[in-house]
Structure 1
Amino acid sequence: MKVELDKTVNQSTQIAFMVIEVMAEIGQPVGLSDLARRLGVSKVRAFRFLRTLLSLGYVLQDPETEKYRLSYKLYHLGQALADSTDILREARPVMVELRDATGFTVSFSQMEPGGMRILDMVRSEQPVVIVTRPGALLDFHASAQGKIALAFGGAQLGEAPLRQWTAETLTDPVGIAVEVGAARKRGWAEAPNQTLAGVAAVSAPVFDMTAGFVATLTISAPTNTIGSPPDPAYVEALSAAARKISKNLGNTDQAT
């Protein structure tokens, strides 16, 4: 059956995804001729897309039969998306509660090799709102989220020079190690004026049922509002919310 392409969007991208969808529907190794016939394209065109997917690791080829099959890379991507969706479903109501309790913007982030990715955010309803948009990647050394990842998630700074975001950004590995050690001991980290002058963030770790670090919960606001060190009442509200999300994820190791 010849595939129908939407001419208003990139057709090569469409065909690449159609190759994946058809192979998933077949559910077993498939030869080039059969796949091209299913797609309604020439063997040369189907081969070109298969080679691209092979190079990216989404497709494997049996050297003996020369047939193609999908790799587990797609499965892992889907699993990661499902896991993130489940976590956010548990985190979102608690984030709203924390925003209402403190009046601050609340964000939820997960660790990537290059930093902390903001997945979700509940914005403050105050006249002055300070936010970093979902999707932003924060440096480990210059963010409260990153210091928690260094303390609990096994994150590494790497060997590249650390960016000096503001005059107060810590770039000395020794100084950063001191802050990370303190975060590990007390269970929270702060980053006043370190990514953006005048803005402070305080983060706490979120753990799953295996006691593994999975995310950070963070409050952010003007530094003179949160305080540095932060007001203990805000720290306790944040820590309690992080423990609540951890409990919702099945973690029973933390006191409530």
Structure 2
Amino acid sequence: MQSVLNALRLLEEVAARQPVGVADLARAMESPKSTVQRALLTLHTAGWIRPAGGTSTRWMVSTKALYVGRSATGELGLRDIAVPVMEELRRATDETVHLAVPEAGNIVLIERLETSKPVRIILPLGQNLPAHASANGKAVLAASSDEAVERHITDGLTRFTETSIVDPRLLRAALAEVRLRGYATNAGEWRSDVSAVAAAVLGDAGLPVASLSVNVPTSRMTEDSRAAFGAAVREAAKTVSEALRRTRGD
């Protein structure tokens, strides 16, 4: 039983840190490298993880893990509805489009459609995005209850870059702006090379169940393109929200 629990904990660590190597996992789990290596091979044989970049020195979760997670939370239905809308959004912007869902205080990337441009934003599926320092996260927070926002603030606002919002008053003001214009922005607040716009997908009682985003290298984002992408993602999220409510009979 303990070996099963250790393997499950290791899977969680891989998902949180991916792509990640044996040494980092051993430190995180406070276990010998040989023990971690055996557990990694077991998870790989079972199809739960895969080598990152084709090398077995670094690991990331597989689509099997993502599929099970989606099934547990009903995200397969969300994805089926969202992907066609995401395709339209990608065609309209020719930039990378993400679908993310809130989970345990984080925002988790569950689908990605990539731009045709050679310089692009590439994040792995299953990537955790900080709620206060990503466009997807701020879109979700802005559509959440005041209590949910305050809980996130109480948990602490981590600084990732010079533009990260770590003052609670500034974050509340930024979320108020998101509510007014209908989409959130990220100007290198999580990673300096990543900029994005995002809008929340709303479900029951108007609460956020996901977010859609257009993701652009910071060097390619202009004020004009940010506004255009924002308007496009706002309409796309509205379309997904309406379709999701119809499907669920709301």
Scaled to the shorter chain, the TM-score interval is 0.5 to 0.7
1:143 is aligned to: 134
Alignment of 1:216 onto 2:216? no
- Decide whether aligned partners of structure 1 residues 244 and 101 sit closer, same or farther in structure 2, where only a CA change above 3 A counts: same
Q: Distance in 2 between matches of 1:117 and 1:202?
A: 16
> Does structure 2 conserve the Cα–Cα contact (< 8 Å) formed by 1:226 and 1:234?
no
Equivalent residue runs for 1:100-249 within 5 Å: 100-154=91-145, 155-156=148-149, 157-208=152-203, 210-228=205-223, 230-249=225-244
Question: Which amino acid in the other structure matches residue 211 of structure 2?
Answer: T
Question: Which amino acid in the other structure matches residue 167 of structure 2?
Answer: D
> Does structure 1 conserve the Cα–Cα contact (< 8 Å) formed by 2:202 and 2:241?
yes
TM-score by length of 1: 0.63
| Structure with the largest fraction of strand | 2
2:9 is aligned to: none
Q: Distance in 1 between matches of 2:128 and 2:121?
A: 16
Q: How far off is 1:178 after superposition?
A: 0.8
1:81 is aligned to: 72
Q: Distance in 2 between matches of 1:11 and 1:166?
A: 40
TM-score by length of 2: 0.65
> Does structure 2 conserve the Cα–Cα contact (< 8 Å) formed by 1:207 and 1:251?
no
1:97 is aligned to: 88
Question: Which amino acid in the other structure matches residue 207 of structure 1?
Answer: L
Q: Distance in 2 between matches of 1:169 and 1:175?
A: 10
- Decide whether aligned partners of structure 1 residues 164 and 245 sit closer, same or farther in structure 2, where only a CA change above 3 A counts: same
Aligned length: 181
> Does structure 2 conserve the Cα–Cα contact (< 8 Å) formed by 1:129 and 1:221?
yes
Moved more, 190-199 or 221-230: 221-230
Q: How far off is 1:119 after superposition?
A: 1.0
* Structure 2 unaligned regions, length at least 5: 5-67
Which structure exhibits the higher relative contact order, with contacts defined as CA atoms closer than 8 Å and separated by 6 or more residues? 2
Q: Distance in 2 between matches of 1:117 and 1:78?
A: 11
- Decide whether aligned partners of structure 1 residues 78 and 230 sit closer, same or farther in structure 2, where only a CA change above 3 A counts: closer
Moved more, 145-154 or 227-236: 227-236
- Decide whether aligned partners of structure 1 residues 197 and 138 sit closer, same or farther in structure 2, where only a CA change above 3 A counts: same
**Structure with max Cα Rg:** 1
Q: How far off is 1:160 after superposition?
A: 4.0
* Structure 1 unaligned regions, length at least 5: 1-9, 14-76
